[in-house]
Amino acid sequence: MEGRANTTLPVIHTLENVVRYLDLTPSEYKEILDVSRYYPFAITRHYLSLIEKDNPLCPIRRQAIPSKEELRDGGMPDPLNELHDSPTPAFIKKYPGRGVFLASSTCAVYCRFCNRKRFVGKKGDPRIYWEETFSYIKGNREVQEVIISGGDPLMLLPEELEYLLSRLRDIRHVRILRLSTRVPVVYPEGMQRGHLKAIKRYGPLWIIIHINHPREITNECIAAIQKMRKAETMLVSQTVLLRQVNDCPHIMFRLYESLIAQGVKPYYLFQLDEVKGAMHFKVRLERGMEIMRFLRKRASGLAIPQYVMDVTGGCGKVPVESITIQGKQKKIYVQGITGKTGIYHNDGKKSQCIHCGICSEEQ
Ligand code: SF4
């Protein structure tokens, strides 16, 4: 199938609207311009409208608006060694039995903390490797589960998504399909009837919604979730623990309790990968564990995710709560599920209250 760009999407690529909406100073404008030379910038009208204009620590702003902190040293372009574990340019296979299909390199919003900053929004369209990837999966019977990711697979045209799902369903040994997306959160109107039809037709599909903050659960997002439920999907969430966005027990409690109320089971809470350009979002492991303790005490059992880290170097995932941290030790040696041991630098800055007011609303 020919790859085609979706040119009808109302994604704001130019800075003019952002500058006008956020009333940015010339130096803030230049900062965004400088950073977006290295890491692409895009934001939707919906997500832009969620930013509190006068709050420099607005959690939505921090996730979407480029900052010069992205140009600081540290981290790696490919911390999980995905390029090494790629039998085709559009498939990552780290574990036996399953692999990640890179369906698209486009996202509606380029998250500033993305662990595929090396790839998203840049040159190189994975759609040209789809056929090679279908052949690879077909020839490897141990691949029973495919995680469709990117970029964002819901940024494909509906007919492209339909084609992708139909080809994967044609491979008899592929029994489980997952699809990871941030579209229902950052671009809910981008989920078209055709996407939902394809999702329903080739189900059952597990959909993983990437969501990081309770303020992202808007009426529009809830409507998108309901449409996906009507399309007979199973819905789970994944969240990245991000400094000065959601590194607070009360914020996480609100997020997870709101998700289960909408029929979405919190699945993964990810420790930030050591990715170049995103290290300023790193949260100390002790803080993540404190958040989990708070959730276990206060939240419904359904609202508790697995708190995991992907060990730097491509060693696989581990539950963070199984790690022992001694004193102020910064280098943590961790054995991933692949059996390899890697080092995680537990050197995030201390978490601080940003006075968002969510905790006082709970009393
Ligand atoms: S939507 Fe996902 S892949 Fe795209 S920029 Fe955000 S985190 Fe990265």
Over residues 168-181, the pLDDT tens digits come to 999 999 999 999 99
Total-model pTM:
0.95
Mean pLDDT value across residues 236-262 = 98
Percentage of the chain exceeding pLDDT 90: 83
User: Does ligand 1 come within 6 angstroms of the Cβ of 273?
Assistant: no
Sign of CA dihedral 99, 2, 208, 229: negative
User: What is the pLDDT confidence band of residue 7, given thresholds at 50, 70 and 90?
Assistant: very low
Ligand 1 centroid, distance to 37 Cα (angstroms):
18
Tell whether 39 is covered by a domain: no
How far from each other are the two terminal CA atoms of the chain, in whole angstroms?
A: 55
Question: Is pLDDT above 60 for 2?
Answer: no
Q: What is the DSSP letter of 12?
A: E
Strand order in the sheet with 265-270: 91-95, 98-102, 145-149, 176-181, 205-210, 234-240, 265-270, 306-311, 316-319
User: Does ligand 1 come within 6 angstroms of the Cβ of 208?
Assistant: no
Residue 133: Cβ within 10 Å count:
24
pLDDT for the residue 5: 41
Residue 165: Cβ within 10 Å count:
22
Contact 317, 337 (CB under 8 A): yes
Contact 310, 316 (CB under 8 A): yes
Tell whether 171 is covered by a domain: yes
Give the pair of three-digit tokens for residue 196: 């939902």
pLDDT for the residue 13: 65
pLDDT for the residue 311: 87
How far, in Å, CA of 291 to CA of 36, rounded?
Answer: 33
363 or 314: which leads in pLDDT: 314
How far, in Å, CA of 38 to CA of 41, rounded?
Answer: 9
pLDDT tens for 106-129 read 999 999 999 999 999 998 899 999
Question: Is pLDDT above 90 for 329?
Answer: no
pLDDT for the residue 15: 82
Question: Is pLDDT above 50 for 51?
Answer: yes
Question: Is pLDDT above 70 for 8?
Answer: no
Task: Tell me the best of 82, 114, 208 to mutate to test the pocket of ligand 1, counting ligand atoms within 8 Å of each CB and taking the most.
Answer: 114
User: What is the pLDDT confidence band of residue 9, given thresholds at 50, 70 and 90?
Assistant: low
pLDDT tens for 135-146 read 999 999 999 999
Tell whether 67 is covered by a domain: no
Give the pair of three-digit tokens for residue 248: 């607070």
Ligand 1 centroid, distance to 353 Cα (angstroms):
26
Contacts of 38 (CB under 8 A, 6+ apart): 70, 71, 277
How far, in Å, CA of 209 to CA of 54, rounded?
Answer: 28
20: amino acid identity, one letter: R
pLDDT for the residue 226: 98
Ligand 1 centroid, distance to 149 Cα (angstroms):
9
Ligand 1 centroid, distance to 297 Cα (angstroms):
31
Distances (CA, A) of 141 to 75, 97, 131, 136, 137: 35, 8, 17, 10, 7
How far, in Å, CA of 113 to CA of 115, rounded?
Answer: 6
Instruction: Using the atom order of ligand 1, give the atom closest to the CA of residue 180.
Output: 2
pLDDT for the residue 281: 98
pLDDT for the residue 6: 45
Q: Which of 119-128, 130-139, 259-268 has the lowest mean pLDDT?
A: 119-128
Question: Is pLDDT above 80 for 343?
Answer: yes
User: Does ligand 1 come within 6 angstroms of the Cβ of 152?
Assistant: yes
User: Does ligand 1 come within 6 angstroms of the Cβ of 151?
Assistant: yes
In the chain, the number of structural domains is 1
pLDDT for the residue 10: 59
pLDDT for the residue 326: 82
Ligand 1 centroid, distance to 275 Cα (angstroms):
13
Ligand 1 centroid, distance to 114 Cα (angstroms):
5
pLDDT for the residue 363: 63
H or E segment and range at residue 341: strand 341-345
Distances (CA, A) of 211 to 39, 137, 232, 260, 310: 21, 29, 20, 13, 18
How far, in Å, CA of 258 to CA of 185, rounded?
Answer: 14
Mean pLDDT value across residues 149-177 = 97
Mean pLDDT value across residues 52-57 = 91
**69 torsion bin: left (phi>0), alpha (psi -120 to 50), beta (else):** alpha
Residue 65, Cβ density class (10 Å: 0-12 exposed, 13-18 middle, ≥19 buried):
buried
Tell whether 252 is covered by a domain: yes
Tell whether 66 is covered by a domain: no
Give the pair of three-digit tokens for residue 62: 């921090």
Tell whether 105 is covered by a domain: yes
Domain range for residue 100? 72-362
pLDDT tens for 88-103 read 999 999 999 999 999 9
Tell whether 352 is covered by a domain: yes
User: Does ligand 1 come within 6 angstroms of the Cβ of 270?
Assistant: no
User: At 227, which CATH number?
Assistant: 3.20.20.70
Tell whether 305 is covered by a domain: yes
Mean pLDDT value across residues 211-226 = 98
Q: Which of 34-38, 205-209, 228-232, 334-338 has the lowest mean pLDDT?
A: 334-338
